[in-house]
Amino acid sequence: MNKVLIIGSGGREHALAWKLARECEVHALPGNPGIEEIGQCHPGDVADLAEVARLARNIAADLVLVGPENPLLEGLADVLRSEGLVCFGPGKREALLEGSKAFAKELMVEAGVPTAWGRVCRSFSEGEEAVQTLHQMGKRPVVKASGAALGKGVTVCNDLREALLALERTMVELEFGEAGRTVVVEERLEGREFSLLTVCSGEAYWSLPVAQDYKRAEDGDRGPNTGGMGSVSPTPWVTEDLVREAEEKIVAPILRALSQRGLDYRGVLFSGLMVQDGEVFCLEYNVRFGDPETQSVVARLGDGFYELLLETGRGGRPQPIGERPEAAVTVVLTSGGYPGAYAKGLPIVVPSEVPSDTILFHAGTARRDGDLVTAGGRVFGATGLGPTVQEARRRAYKLADLVQFDGKRFRSDIGAYED
């Protein structure tokens, strides 16, 4: 049987493992208790690239699938490929699309990708000048640390004063570390966001079903930003035409620009998009699957996911696979206090059998003396499938109610569309 080695330990990785376990033998480094039920987890440090390659060779993995961005930014895909292993995930130079917002912005502009007006600033005074320029244009600024900042590092500002404070914190106080030495200052756009996950090989691509993520901690999109509190796929307000437009204006040109630089992108390109006045803009690229978008997206995929990833990893054209007609909604169950400080090691009770048309994805869980305990901010993703978003949502919440741990919190409006 074919073997896949999945790198990572979150809800995204459990979802990928759940999907692939129907088609091949699943191994994970380090994995989590959910993955352990359907595959084999190997202890180890994903930051040790040589160790990852050794494991892949030892288990004779046919494919290595990398979940989080950090190993990709460090060059894991290059190390694996140099040893003749097949990896789904871009190399270090391609991964700069996520690792450097300055590089991404410059390439977007070069490629003609619609994106907010912006400036790459390498000193505080350049940053000041950029926010002043936006202010004079009557626009509100966004200040982004250029480097990898664990999903933080972006400050969406209401006015000039907030932008100057954000610049100070990012560039001078280095609140996001070295990532903030260079910033991108850009115009704040207004609109609705969605995520497009596109499987890419060179300039060839095929997009997975669209999804939407809920980034804010509280209902009604209030409260602090988080890693993601839930997801929906498909997104009712995103039309087929809008997806084609995004592919043509945002995915294809950036792949062409990479290719013109001699780069060969092999993996998933995650475009974070905003629709303002009917026009689609690119807010950011990520070089990996989204979390928790992936939980809802893979629940809706037909057969052939393993072959799709394998062929793409080998440099072949991504071959489209089927899509189930159902909608999927994922509700993320978090530890009390998240995204701030929270307790770990709290006992968890999960139902021995989940209701039909639901899947419980583990994210921040661990085994302690055999018992399941909390081990992270985002603890589970409760996914429901149904003929409509409303029905999928009802099932996801039914499952969310059945899981118990002290301090359990979740948003109550995931997938609740007013229109």
Residues that bind ligand GLY (CB under 6 A): 151, 213, 228, 286, 290-291, 293
Category of 397 on φ-ψ map: left (φ > 0), alpha (ψ -120 to 50) or beta: alpha
CB of 141 to ligand AMP, least distance (A): 9
Task: Find the binding residues for ligand AMP in span 82-141 (CB under 6 A).
Answer: 116
The minimum distance between CB 221 and ligand AMP, in angstroms, equals 9
Residue 63 Rama label (left phi>0; alpha psi -120 to 50; beta): beta
Q: Binding partner of residue 293 among ligand AMP, ligand GLY, none, CB under 5 to 8 Å per kind?
A: ligand GLY
Q: Could you give the string, one character per residue 183-202, with x where binding to ligand AMP holds by CB under 6 A and - elsewhere?
A: ---x-xx---x---------
Q: What is the DSSP letter of 22?
A: T
What does 189 interact with, of ligand AMP, ligand GLY, none (CB < 5 to 8 A by kind)? ligand AMP
| Residue with Cβ nearer ligand GLY (9 or 357) | 9
CB of residue 127 vs ligand AMP: minimum separation in angstroms?
15
Pair 131, 160: CB distance under 8 Å: yes
Cβ–Cβ under 8 Å, residues 180 and 171: yes
Which helix (H) or strand (E) segment holds residue 55: the answer is helix 49-58
Contact 211, 177 (CB under 8 A): no
Please list every residue from 147 through 186 that binds ligand AMP, using CB under 6 A. Answer: 154, 156, 186
What is the residue type of 202? G
Choose among 361, 316, 299, 267: nearest CA to 66.
267
Binding site partner of 228, from ligand GLY, ligand AMP, none, Cβ cut-off 5-8 A by kind: ligand GLY
Which one, 201 or 296, has the nearer CB to ligand AMP? Answer: 296
- Among ligand AMP, ligand GLY, none, the one that 186 touches (CB under a kind-dependent 5 to 8 A) is ligand AMP
Task: List the x/- string, 272-311, binding to ligand AMP by CB under 6 A.
Answer: x----------xx---------------------------
Minimum Å gap between C-beta 227 and ligand GLY is: 7
Q: Mention every residue, 6+ apart, whose C-beta is less than 8 A from residue 260.
A: none
Rounded CA-CA distance 260/239 in Å is: 31
Q: Cα(16)–Cα(20) distance, rounded to whole angstroms?
A: 6
Residue 164: contacted member of ligand GLY, ligand AMP, none (CB under 5 to 8 Å, by partner type): none
Calculate the alpha carbon distances from 193 to 45, 211, 239, 342 in Å: 34, 10, 13, 28
Binding at 116: pick from ligand GLY, ligand AMP, none (beta carbon under 5-8 Å per type): ligand AMP
Least Å distance, CB 167 to ligand GLY, is 23
For residues 199 to 218, the per-residue mask of contacts with ligand AMP, x marking binding by CB under 6 A and - elsewhere, is ----------------x---
How far apart are the C-alpha atoms of 405 and 144, rounded to whole Å?
36
Q: Tokens 């996520």 map to which residue?
A: 98
Give the interface with ligand AMP as residue ranges (CB under 6 A).
Answer: 116, 142, 144, 154, 156, 186, 188-189, 193, 215, 272, 283-284
